[in-house]
A and B are shown apart, each in its own frame.
Chain A
Amino acid sequence: MKEFALYEPTSLKEACALLAQHGDQAKALAGGTDLLVGMKAGWLRPEVVVNLKKIDGLRDISFSERRGLSIGALVTWTQILEHPQVAEHYPALHQAAASMGSYQVRNLGTLAGNLCHASPAANGPVPLLIYEASCLIQGPRSKRTLDLSGLFAGPQKNALAPGELLSEIFLPVPPAGSKSLYLKFAQRKAMELATVAVGSLVQVKKDKFKLVRLALGAVGPVPFRAHKAEKVLLDQAASEEIMRRAAQVAMEESAPISDLRASAEYRRGLLEELTYRALRDCLA
């Protein structure tokens, strides 16, 4: 591994100042399950590593019926998986946590790191997009709030400015009576990135779709909401036909690539089927 300077700030401000000072040369370290792998393999060669783990207050995960779920930047996948109210109120996030890497990865890796890594195939973004999560972004001088969808700038590229850190993630309480889930298709049953992932949140009133949120992973440069497909369903009576049509629209909204894991043609086929199943299973 290339030599680097390690900083261990004890406050967010200090961390942001260091990141601002070193710009592109610096990388923030949370769980390290992406960063250290890249550094050991030599694809990442930062001059400066800013370890966030000495900063207090970033390891908290809390839920309230009023404000929803708040997840600090150092909260691990294991913490999410074991949090009873995550399973109760955010089943799609729970399912994503359960299918994340291995025990070892879940014990180290953080949700915030997963989001900032900005892989289109990552487990974190898809469930968070359907829960309309927002991010608290700490900068060297100020804070700002960003809708999660604004965090992804491209494959492995986030929209944070130099010196900015994702410090906290908020998930509002899902609409009453809504159902949600996360479907991940991968070649293995564990230790896998998604070939295609779909998240769905559905609220049905009087047999009609009152609210539909669909998020898609690994079928475009960034994870995204399939708004056109959502519109197909809105205020429509729930039927297999309409869900199949929405799934087709979701497929048309996507732009999958062919890579090591699958051809674009296969991804399109999978996406169509998984979208249909995600909707169907929300109605079950």
Chain B
Amino acid sequence: MAELRYVGKGLPRVDALEKVTGQAMYTLDLTLPNMLYGGLLRSPLPHARILSIDTGKAERLLGVKAVITGKDTPYTFGVSHMDQTPLQTEKVRYVGDAVAAVAAVDQDVLAEALSLIQVEYQELPAVFDPHEAMQEGAPLVHEDKPGNIASNPRYDIGDVEKAFREADYVFEDHFETQRVAHVCPEPHNNLAVWDASGKLTFYYCSQMPSVTRVQLSKAFNLPESRIRVVTNTVGGGFGSRATSKFPMDFAAIVLAKKSGRPVKIAYNRADEFIHSTFRHKFIMTVKTGINRDGTITGRHVTNICDNGAYSDYGPVVTNVGGALQGTLYKFMNYKYDGYCVYTNLPYGGAMRGIGNPQVHYACEAQLSMIAERIGLDPLELRLKNAVETGDETASGAILQSCGLKECLTQAAEKIGWKEKKANPEPNRGLGIACGVHFTGVRLSPGIDADFAGATITVNDDGSVNLATSCVEIGSGSSTVLSQICAEVLGIGLDKINIICGDTETCPMGWGSRASRNTAVGGMAVQKAAEDARTQILALASQKLEIHPDDLEIKEGVITAKGAPDRSLTVAEAVRFGRYRQGGTAVMAKAHWDAPSTLADPKTGRGNFSMAFSFGAKALEVEVDPATGRINVLGVAASQDLGKAVNPLAVKGQVEGGVHMGLGFAMYEQIMLDEQGRMKNPYLLDYRIPTVMDMPPVIPILVESQDPVGPFGAKGVGEMATIGMPEALIAAVAEATGLWITDLPITPEKVFLGLKAKKAAE
């Protein structure tokens, strides 16, 4: 490959200045003339029949412009299961279920109007525990879902029972994870505007504007051409604003229609924790067969996902939780039984890794326990079983690039694994864990597609407008895609204007999710740029009378290879094409569908992603046994990303993944009371680690050069956060002798665990 000028360079982000100066315009910043403020009335009860709703007083309040209830919002929605309606008419299923909505001239009138709506409820028996919910006779959250089972994804590959029979040891252990929130800097919000022609513009901080348009088109029976979805700058997503739709979205649109005025609905931080979804709580049992020499023979994972009252991403999360556990190690006997179970609790959604981090936690934590039990080094045990390039895994993944072993050895080396293991110090411990995640995914039955789009227009002056289906939600996608475009076209990065997050100017694609922007989005940009380059060279060829194959473009100048005196600028080529009889323009487009396949419906096997990214986390802790304080002394985080298109940006993404993983491992927890109300809906007692809590992080980039992705790149976003709790549990166990299997691993659990251990001795 020729020397790269933009790809592989740690260039500053293209959106850095507008963000650090505060100029970037988020949907939350928008106000329009005559705009109203909308809000929802939510159920105070976890499970109740709605007997009546009286909105009369609210409607008569001065400043109230529209009041709606479920009869105004006859839509059903959901991600995999269409089990949601925006405003409930029959019954409410959790504390927070929406029953009515109001649009008013300001927030104060809105709050008063909501307080004036009278709802009469008849309380119903509720169920708050997924085990109880599965029992016969338990209250049904949805009458058409017996046993409260929303879904039951299974993987059954090889013969796991035989693998257990033939293994030297079989171990079974239980693990539990907690609900954690995305904590997007920008809370969920929207702004709905209908114009006089009946066209809807929906300003909406979203990871997936094109899919939003499809969803709204179906719900409101409007042609997609009569709907515009604009994301503006998006303040984080982490999965919470992917395919999910929320009652607030339908409410804003219907209220705007009814009032004839723009309506904005914005969550505050407390709303955001619960009503933007969160990472589901998983209750897992892991059974592993293993031989004395450390060869894993097979594994069976059972997972009960507490879905909450509605499905949203729950069934998808439960499925993905099982999808990748057959792709990390070489064993070929793998079974997974997932149960996604309704309860009368707030519902979870997609969050960075979409079920994969929870199950990785259980499986990798157990592997470290097994290493201790059978006296093997946890690093060697992993290296012995690790998959490699060329493997077709139990799950059916075909690994065209795999840097897993290098991720493990490099992370171990950077944390000082060998020296520290040889010279253990009291109250200190080391932990290591590894993982795998997909790069884009084809897991939705019935949707055999995983695509992105890009269009390129080259302007008269040789500058470029690049429109992408990917949304810059803070991950750096706009920078990386601009770099790919600049590289292929041979045009300076400063000449490229990237456009995203507007369905009226951007092509359709599946937006920013599933770690897919750089690889799937990047391939669409690469293909469009190659097309534009061909068009430019064809024009230059006419003008210079040189065959296109003998021309090259650098920094916007087209030259003949080996004859630099014969040149033309891209601008001149474009104008040469445009300003003449029967002229032409340089306009290119690409729709790129990632090469992957749907899973076999019977076994769950399939090569469901274009590429698989691997990674490892190694960390060291020091524990103060008298207080339980856990000090993470350092983290080495390795990421097999194929190729770093922007090493600076991706190191930041790996550090961010460590931060989020550290919160999951030891700080964060949505605490619910016995009725499912959040007890800590504010950032003082919902603890994301502060900068002071961050340990030193050593990001390690492993470039395995994937043959499919653009310039060899694979996904990073989700894998970057996998591995922290599983590395931490092992490190804390080494320091204290305690295996704390229910997350988060807190000082209090360490303290009480040590106290109990002492008492037992």
Which residues in A have some Cβ–Cβ distance to B below 8 Å? 1-3, 41, 185, 187-193, 260-263, 265-266, 269-270, 273-274
Residues A3 and B108 in contact, CB atoms below 8 Å apart: yes
For B748, the chain A residues whose CB sits under 8 A away are 262-263, 266
Residues B684 and A270 in contact, CB atoms below 8 Å apart: no
Residues A190 and B627 in contact, CB atoms below 8 Å apart: no
Residues A188 and B671 in contact, CB atoms below 8 Å apart: no
Secondary structure call for the B interface? loop
For B693, the chain A residues whose CB sits under 8 A away are 188-190
- Given A266-B748, A269-B755, also A187-B687 (CB < 8 A): yes
8 contacts between A and B (CB under 8 A): A3-B108, A41-B682, A185-B627, A188-B689, A188-B692, A263-B752, A269-B751, A270-B627
Give Cα A49–Cα B691 distance, bound, in whole angstroms: 35
- Given A189-B692, A191-B684, also A270-B108 (CB < 8 A): no
Which residues from 679 to 707 on chain B have a C-beta closer than 8 Å to any C-beta of chain A?
679-680, 682-685, 687, 689-693
For A192, the chain B residues whose CB sits under 8 A away are 684
Residues B751 and A188 in contact, CB atoms below 8 Å apart: no
B759 at the interface (CB under 8 A from A): no
Give Cα A1–Cα B690 distance, bound, in whole angstroms: 29
Give Cα A190–Cα B694 distance, bound, in whole angstroms: 11
Residues A1 and B692 in contact, CB atoms below 8 Å apart: no
Give Cα A81–Cα B296 distance, bound, in whole angstroms: 57
For B691, the chain A residues whose CB sits under 8 A away are 190
Residues A187 and B627 in contact, CB atoms below 8 Å apart: no
Residues B667 and A187 in contact, CB atoms below 8 Å apart: yes
**What does the 1/0 interface line of B511-549 toward A look like (CB < 8 Å)?**
000000000000000000000000000000000000000
Residues B626 and A265 in contact, CB atoms below 8 Å apart: no
Residues B692 and A2 in contact, CB atoms below 8 Å apart: no
For B108, B680, B684, B691, which residue has the most chain A Cβ atoms within 10 angstroms?
Answer: B684
Shortest distance in angstroms between A263's beta carbon and chain B's nearest beta carbon? 7
- Given A188-B690, A260-B671, A273-B627, also A193-B752 (CB < 8 A): no
Known: A190-B692, A266-B628. 9 other contacts (CB 8 A): A3-B108, A41-B682, A188-B667, A189-B690, A191-B683, A191-B684, A260-B671, A269-B751, A273-B626
Which residues from 115 to 134 on chain B have a C-beta closer than 8 Å to any C-beta of chain A?
none
For A260, the chain B residues whose CB sits under 8 A away are 671, 679-680, 685
Give Cα A185–Cα B627 distance, bound, in whole angstroms: 9
Residues A191 and B685 in contact, CB atoms below 8 Å apart: no
Shortest distance in angstroms between A98's beta carbon and chain B's nearest beta carbon? 11
Shortest distance in angstroms between B94's beta carbon and chain A's nearest beta carbon? 21
**What does the 1/0 interface line of B192-221 toward A look like (CB < 8 Å)?**
000000000000000000000000000000
For A262, the chain B residues whose CB sits under 8 A away are 748
The chain A residue sitting closest to B680, CB to CB, is A260
B746 at the interface (CB under 8 A from A): yes
For A270, the chain B residues whose CB sits under 8 A away are 627, 751
Residues A265 and B752 in contact, CB atoms below 8 Å apart: yes
For A1, A191, A273, which residue has the most chain B Cβ atoms within 10 angstroms?
Answer: A191
Shortest distance in angstroms between B430's beta carbon and chain A's nearest beta carbon? 22
For B671, B680, B691, B693, which residue has the most chain A Cβ atoms within 10 angstroms?
Answer: B693
Give Cα A190–Cα B689 distance, bound, in whole angstroms: 9
B556 at the interface (CB under 8 A from A): no
Residues B108 and A261 in contact, CB atoms below 8 Å apart: no
**10 shortest A-B CB distances, which residue pairs?**
A189-B692, A190-B692, A266-B748, A190-B690, A273-B626, A189-B693, A260-B685, A191-B690, A188-B693, A188-B687
Shortest distance in angstroms between B630's beta carbon and chain A's nearest beta carbon? 10
Residues B747 and A187 in contact, CB atoms below 8 Å apart: yes
For B628, the chain A residues whose CB sits under 8 A away are 266
**What does the 1/0 interface line of B612-654 toward A look like (CB < 8 Å)?**
0000000000000011110000000000000000000000000
The chain A residue sitting closest to B744, CB to CB, is A187
Give Cα A106–Cα B729 distance, bound, in whole angstroms: 35
For B687, the chain A residues whose CB sits under 8 A away are 187-188
For A2, the chain B residues whose CB sits under 8 A away are 108
The chain B residue sitting closest to A101, CB to CB, is B684
Give Cα A42–Cα B300 distance, bound, in whole angstroms: 50
Give Cα A187–Cα B749 distance, bound, in whole angstroms: 12
Shortest distance in angstroms between B77's beta carbon and chain A's nearest beta carbon? 30
Give Cα A274–Cα B624 distance, bound, in whole angstroms: 12
Give Cα A3–Cα B682 distance, bound, in whole angstroms: 23
Give Cα A131–Cα B680 distance, bound, in whole angstroms: 34
For B627, the chain A residues whose CB sits under 8 A away are 185, 270, 273-274
Give Cα A3–Cα B671 distance, bound, in whole angstroms: 32
The chain B residue sitting closest to A189, CB to CB, is B692
**What does the 1/0 interface line of B47-62 toward A look like (CB < 8 Å)?**
0000000000000000
Residues A261 and B685 in contact, CB atoms below 8 Å apart: yes
The chain A residue sitting closest to B748, CB to CB, is A266
Shortest distance in angstroms between B672's beta carbon and chain A's nearest beta carbon? 12
Residues B752 and A266 in contact, CB atoms below 8 Å apart: yes
For B689, the chain A residues whose CB sits under 8 A away are 188
Shortest distance in angstroms between A96's beta carbon and chain B's nearest beta carbon? 16
For A191, the chain B residues whose CB sits under 8 A away are 683-684, 690
Which residues from 572 to 624 on chain B have a C-beta closer than 8 Å to any C-beta of chain A?
none
Give Cα A265–Cα B751 distance, bound, in whole angstroms: 10
Shortest distance in angstroms between A97's beta carbon and chain B's nearest beta carbon? 16
For B671, B746, B748, which residue has the most chain A Cβ atoms within 10 angstroms?
Answer: B748
